[in-house]
Each structure stands twice: as structure tokens, then as C-alpha cells.
Structure 1
Amino acid sequence: MNATATTPTLGIGHHFRRTVQLALPVMAARAGLVIMLSVNAIFCGWQGKEVLAAFGAAAVPQVTLMVVGVGLLIGTIILTAQADGAGNHGACGRALAGGLVIAAGFGTFCAALLLPAEYWLDLLGQPVETIPAASDALRILGYSLPAILMFTACSFFLEGINRPLPGMIATLAANLLNLLLNWVFVLGNLGAPEMGAAGSALATSITRFFMLAGMLGYILTMPGRDRYLRPGWLRVDAATLRRLIVLGLPLAFAIGAETGCFNFMVVMAGWLGTAELATMYAAINYTSFVYMLTLGLSTAASVRVGNAIGRRNAGDIRRAGWIAVGLEFAVMAAIATLTIFLAPRIASLYSQDPAVLGLLVPALNLTALLFLVDGLQGVLMGALRGTADTLVPTAVYIVSFAFVGIPMGYFLGYQAGMGVPALIWALVAALALATLGLGARFHWVSRRQEGLWR
């Protein structure tokens, strides 16, 4: 490492302030995405456990593909943050163009893949009575996958240049639209038919296209646009596209392993019965909402560490990462405590069915422990993304979720008949293992100065 190329190490207070300033709007934006699914679940739950179970069955494969797509796009924020930290603003625009191409291509592929929805739901062994309604909802959600992934690419670009507020505003506005459309299409207001799970999917799909339009409109008119979007920025640069794929592909596998593990728990709950499926989907939906707060600090860690890489400052890499980890622990401990106290009220938002409530309240109490390990591993993964370290974290995820979480859930939750609590304990075990592996990896990488500047 060339010492003359580095910048002075910034103080702990500076890292704390900048991490919080970046994390808070990203938290709001990411939470807004899951609030949409939570609103959908609540509206469907009001229609009965069968409608909630149908929407849950539809959400599992769609969310899994969407999250894999988000993993493919994470290279956008890595390249943007590192280029912005180095003052290479033109490279930021090229990263955005490459991200949009990947998002549109992968999203369209997934939409086509989900068209035979009945086949996939039957293959996953979902309750027969849920498949007709769930298949309609799954196809409708699939149509909007290109829109939500392109929106994500735009959000990653803006977060990489430290402008997270537009994504937050767009997501919060979208939630109002999604709420209104759920009221119209799920409950059958303003002359619309009462569409149940399919109506909720339609509400979210329409909302996603509005989100994309709003974000593209902002980027094309934002202050300082010409600094980032230089003439010809939309021409896809082959080298940038390759770099995005090299960074994103391992992360897509990693996030796919994690999300696949969570969603497979929902699938296995469906093997146990409709009430168990509705319960597990509600518990995972609530967990996903809380995890969006983690994604705020995870994204902040990625950007702050990536900026430090751009400045060639090893001390700032360590400080940025571990400060984000400490903040995450404090936030998740507070959320876990609140969840334990409010579990009955939270459960009542999702369902009034006695069979579901009897399972969901204890399940929510268990998720309090899950939040802690889930949050820590998420922020550590974000810090490692900022260093562009992807292969080893991917291996950690695959071992934790594919070789520990899923088998443990299958044998204890399904084969041994221990049900929803065992499925959640399997997730806790997998996340704890991931936390230990990623923590050790970041400790090693952040102290290995050579090679971090590539």
C-alpha cells in the first residue's frame, strides 16, 4: 500500500454521525418495501386465514426471486460508493446503467418463469385449497418484478453517492398508494370486485411501476445530474457490466441461500396445515419488516466502508464496519424487547383466527431472539460488501443456511412434528453460525491492507 495515497483517518464521532445520517433514510426506504407486504398480509388476513395463506404461498417464490435479483444488483452500490469516494463520478453513472440492464433482464426472465404458477405451487407442496387463488396472485406479482428491480438499481446508485432521501420518499409515497389500492381491490370498494389475494398482488404490482417512474424522474432531473450522468452514460460499458456481475453473482447466491432458507420454512409450514402456513408467513413477514431496519445499517456500512476503500484508509474501514455493528446490536435489542411485550397485539394485526393466534403469539416471542443474530449477520455482510469481498461470505451463507438451517428445520419442524417453533429455532441456529463466520471474516479482511484497493 502506498502510504502517500491514503487520507487521514476520520474520528469515531464522524463515523457515527455519517452512519446514522445514511442509515436512517435507508431504513425507512427498506422498511417501506416490507410494509407493503405487511399491509397486503393484514388486508388478506382480515378476509380469513385461507386468503392470508394463499397470499403467503404466492409471496414465497416471488420474494425469493426478487431478493436474488437484489443480490445481483448489489455490485451497483459497491462500485458507486467506491467510485464516489475516489472522485470518479462518471463511473457512478456507468454503474447505474449496468445495474438497470441487469435488473430489466433478470426481472423479465423471472416474470416469464412464474407464468406456470400452479406448477410451482404444486411442486412446493402447498395446501390444495390455496393454489387457485395463490397462482393468480403469483403471476400478477411476477409481472412487476422488472419494475421493482430497476427501482432497486436506482436506489443503490443514489445511496452509493450518499443521497438516500429520494428512495425513502418514493417508498413512503408508494405505501400510501399500496394501502389505497388494497382497500379497493382486496375489499372490493369503489365498484371494484372483491379480489382477495389476487387484488392485493395487483395493488402492489401497480405501485411498483409508479415507484420506478418516480425514481427515474428524480435521477434524470436531480441537482448535479451532469456530474454523474455524462453524455453516453446509458451505453452499457462491457467492463462495468462484467464487474457488476462478478460482484453480484456470489451475493445473489448468498442472499438466495438466506432467503431460500427463510421461505422454505414457510413452505414446510404449509406441509403442516393451513393455520401453520398462515402463522409462519405472518411471523416471517414481521421478521422481514424488522430486518429492513438492519438493511439501513447494512447499506450504511457498505457505503462507509466502500468510501474508505476509495480513500485508501484502512483505519476507516475498520471503524466504519464495527461502529455499524454496535449500532445494529443496540437497535435490535430494543426491537426484540418491544416485540416480547407487544406480541399479542402484533399477532392480532395479522389475524383474528383463534387457530392462527394460538400459534403466532409464541412464534413472535421466539423471533425476538432471531432479530439479534439476524441483524448482526446482516450488518457484517454489508461491511464485507463494502470491501468487495464476496466469495467467502457466500460460502459462509451456503453452509449456514443450506447445510444447517434447512436440514434442521426439516427434521425437527416437519419430520419430528415440532412445528412452527422448531422452524424458527432452525433459523436462529443458521443465523448464529453466519454471524460468527462473517464476524471472523471482517476482522481478518479489515486488517489485511494489501489488496483492498483493487
Structure 2
Amino acid sequence: MTAPMSLLQHMRATLVLGLPLIGGHLAQFAIQLTDTVMLGWYSVEALAAVTLAGSYFITFFLFGAGFAWAVMPMVATFAAKGDQTGVRRATRMGLWLSLLYSALAMPAFWWAEEILLALGQTDAVAGLAADYLRVAGWGIFPALIVMVLKSYLAALERTRIILWVTLAAAVMNVFGNYVLIFGNFGLPPLGAVGAAWASIITHTTALAGAAAYAVIARPEHQLFVRFWRADWEMFFKVFRMGGPIGITTLSEVSLFAGSTVLMGWLGTIPLAAHGIAIQLGTATFMVHLGLSNAATVRAGQAQGRDDGLGLRRGATGVLILSLVVSLITIAVFLSIPEQLLGLFLEPDNPNRPQILAIGVGLVTIAALFQLVDGAQVVALGLLRGLHDTTVPMVMAAVGYWVVGLPASYILGFVAGLGGIGVWLGLVSGLATAAVLLLWRFWGRAVGQVGAAVPV
């Protein structure tokens, strides 16, 4: 009988699994940042339109990605049980759901101009954003398929390939933007539409790499052999698990979108400072998200082995790692806030002093923000590993929408704290979600899987 892993061994195993995932998330973040920078070089109008279009696209993408996220714990559990057929069934139906969802989402991209105009956007911005979305919308097919394959490979602990595929896609995105946005190598400059074509090329590159590796490295799963055969039992299992994940992710994103609207009420300068602080917070959040993915896989494996002690020790280990990342981030944010903010501002920007003055306060709150944001996303990852998504969806929604957004409004406007109040409201919402989700996880970890052995 194999001796149980120690806490340090669990932490080491989580890092081995999680570091490539963290790198992959940071590379994906770099793709989005590259689009923003290169379109900003092209024209302000193109940047504004694609910023709007990107938010529109990501809303549909994140909900559909719930089915891909569901594949990760299911495959991890089946693999731990040695059920290779279950691995294939879950992954294949995740692919089915992603393709079906993508097809259903296409009308929203095709008629985006009418929808954006109805939402109060100007004719010029809505028209250019719609031109982008009519092309980029087709990218939801390869993008969601890639998400499923990444979840499948991560669950089988093949995370390095995820990093390399995402890095290759990031390089292709830069090249595609350079050629198609600006019109290099004899091609005409396409601006925002060029960025849309570049995004499709990027997603297709990632799809080719991930699919080729999945077929070559794990031929026993035969993912695409007789792909057309329906498996309705597994289809609805993935659907029931993935739907709540998509809603949870969408509700968190909408919390931050709501906070952006509130900051916009305070004026252009506070909104600009908020945008920079969000970028800094997003970059560090990618680290916690990678740890959360690793937690999902390892919790799913423990579930498959019925290893209660391993589940609890692994959970303790990943929470400690997330805490260490938060403490390092807090130290950096509190030590050099002006230098971090200055990375996003031109030295001769006339609004620089005002943005820095507001931004320093927001980055200070963002430091506190790290602790609760990391804890809640890791807790969500652990619960997904236990195939528990519906109750966590409700708990997260309570934190985000019942506590977080109202608190942002009350503290920011009723109490008169401005941007600091809006961000303190975000902290309160995420803290509520973290407490509820961790309480839910530890109750399940002790009561459901294995004997109640102390960590």
C-alpha cells in the first residue's frame, strides 16, 4: 500500500501541474493585451470598437466555456478510476456541447449591430464593432473546442503542451495583427476587421496544436473516431455540470463590468485609473486561476480514488500556495504602486498626475482584493473537482450580486467614498463568496469523500 502524500508533496505536485497552466493563462492574457496595444497604435476608433466587441464576444464565450470547464473534473475522476471509456465519453460530449452552443451563438454575432444600437451605442462604434464580430464570431467554434481539449489534457496532467500551444497562438496573434491590421507584406490595412481575422487564425492555430497532440499522445481514447455517435446520458451529465459553471463565470465577469459602469459615473479619470488597476489585478488573478485549475484536477483525482485524506491535504496545500502568491502581490502593490501604474501611461500624458493619484488608492485596495479573490477562485476549483457546481453557483451569485455590487454602490456613492468605495464593495462581495465556498468545500471534503481524517 502506498503511503499517503505529505502536505509538502501535495504542494509540490500542485506546482508541477499548475505552473504550466499559470503560464498558459498569462500567455492568453498577453494575447488580449497585444490586441489592445496594437489596435491603439492603429486608431482610437478601432480600439474603442474592438474593446466593445471584445466584451460582447467574451460574454458569450465565457458562458459556453462552462461545458469545457466541466470536462476537466469529469476526466480527472474517470482517469483516476482507470475508466478510459468514461474519459472519451465526457470529452466527446463536451465537444458536442461546445459545437452546439457555438452554432446557437452565431446569430448574436451576425446581428450584433442591431443589438449594440439597442443598447445605446453610437452608430459609428456599433457599426465598426459589428464588422469585427461578423468575422471574429466564427472564432467561437475553434476557441471553445480548444477549451475542451485543454481541459481534457490538463485532467490527464499533460499541462506543458497547453503552455506551448498557447504561446504558439500568442506569437501567431502578434504576427497576424501586424500583417492584417496594418497591411504589411503587400496586403491592405484592414484595421479592426484585420484583428478579427487574426483572432480566427490564432484560435485555429491553437486548435490544430491541441487536437494533433491529443490524437498522437493519447490514441487509446479515440476522441474523434465515430465522433457523430450520440451519447445522450453523458451529454446531459456534462450539460448539468457545465451550465452552472458558465453562469458562475459570467456572473463574476458581470460583477466587474458593473463596477466599471459605476466607475464611469465618477468620470473619465477615475474610469481610466480603474481600467489600469483591473489590468494589474487580472494579471495576478491568472496565477490563482492556474492554481484553481490544478486544484480541480487533483480534487477530481482524489474523488475518483475515494481519497479523503489526499483531498484535504491537497486542498490545504493549494490554499497555502494561493496565500503565498497573494502576500507577494500585496507586497509589490503596496511598495511600487506608482511605477506599476506608470507602465500603462505615457510620460507626457496631461492626465497622468490625476490618474496616478486615484490609481494609487485603487491599487492599495487591489492588494487587499488579492486575498479574497484568490481564495474564492481556488474554492470554486476544488468544488468543481468534487463535481459540485449548482450550489456553488448560487453562493457565488450571492457574493457577487447580493453583496458585492450593492456594497460598491452604497460605499462609492451613498457613503461618498468614490472609487475606493466601489473597490471596497468588490472586496466585500468576493470575501462573502470566498467564505461561503470554502465552508461548502470543507463540509463536502469531510462528509462525502473518505473518512474524516484530520489534515
Shorter-chain TM-score category?
0.7 to 0.9
Q: Residue 110 of structure 1 aligns with which residue? A: 105
Relative to structure 1, is the Cα distance of residues 313 and 450 closer, same or farther in structure 2, using a 3 angstrom cutoff?
A: closer
Provide the rounded CA distance (Å) in 1 between the counterparts of 2:136 and 2:408: 27
Amino acid at match of 1:102: L
SS in 2 for 1:144: helix
Q: Residue type of the partner of 2:355?
A: L
Shift of 1:47: 5.0
Give the alignment partner of residue 72 of structure 1, picking from 49, 67, 82. Answer: 67
Question: Residue 366 of structure 1: CA displacement?
Answer: 3.4
Deviation at 1:33, TM superposition (A): 1.4
Indicate which of 310, 329, 342 corresponds to 1:316. Answer: 310
Q: For residue 77 of structure 1, report the CA deviation from its aligned partner.
A: 0.7
Partner of 1:263: 257
Deviations 1:3-50 (A, max 9, x none): xxx986332232122111100011111222121111112223445665
Match for residue 326 of structure 2 among 311, 324, 332: 332
- Asked if 1:12 is matched to 2:7, the reply is yes
Question: Residues 416, 346 of structure 1: CA spacing in aligned structure 2 closer, same or farther, 3 A cutoff?
Answer: same
Aligned to 1:225: 219
Counterpart Cα distance in 1 of 2:281 and 2:207:
26
Aligned partner of 1:359 among 350, 355, 359? 355
Percent identity (aligned): 30
Structure 2 gaps of 5+ residues are none
1:10 aligned counterpart, secondary structure: coil
Kindly report which structure 2 residues correspond to 1:123-134, keeping only aligned pairs within 5 A, or say none: 123-126=118-121, 130-134=125-129
- 8 Å CA contact 1:126–1:270 kept in 2: the answer is no
Amino acid at match of 1:392: V
Aligned length: 446
- Larger deviation, residues 63-72 vs 443-452: 443-452
> Cα–Cα, structure 1 residues 275 and 203, in superposed 2: closer, same or farther, change >3 Å?
farther
Residue in 2 aligned with 1:250?
244
2:38 pairs with 1:38:
no
TM-score by length of 1: 0.88
Classify 1:266/1:236 alpha carbon distance in 2 versus 1 (closer, same or farther; 3 Å).
farther
The equivalent residue for 2:81 is: 86
Task: Find the aligned partners of 2:419 and 2:127 in 1 and give their Cα distance.
Answer: 25
Q: Deviations over 1:217-272 (max 9, x none)?
A: 111111x4225649646633211111111111111221111111112333444566
1:21 aligned residue: 16
Aligned in 2, Cα 1:109/1:419: closer, same or farther, shift over 3 Å?
A: farther
RCO higher in structure (CA 8 A, sep ≥6)? 1
Q: CA RMSD in A?
A: 2.9
Q: Per the alignment, in what secondary structure is the counterpart of residue 236 of structure 1?
A: coil
Q: Does 1:369 align with 2:362?
A: no
List gaps (5 residues or longer) in structure 1.
Answer: 1-5
- For the pair 1:161 / 2:141, whether they are aligned, the reply is no
With over 3 angstroms needed to count, the CA separation of the structure-2 counterparts of 1:28 and 1:357, relative to structure 1, is farther
Cα 1:213–1:356, aligned 2, differ >3 Å: closer, same or farther? Answer: farther
Residue matched to 2:140: 145
1:172 maps to a residue whose letter is L
Pick which of 392-401 and 288-297 moved more: 288-297
2:412/2:420 contact within 8 Å kept: yes
The CA deviation at 1:356 is 6.9
What does residue 441 of structure 1 align with?
Answer: 440
Deviation of residue 338 (structure 1)?
2.6
Q: Whole-Å Cα distance in 2 between the matches of residues 341 and 259 of structure 1?
A: 28
The correspondence for 2:197, drawn from 186, 198, 202, is 202
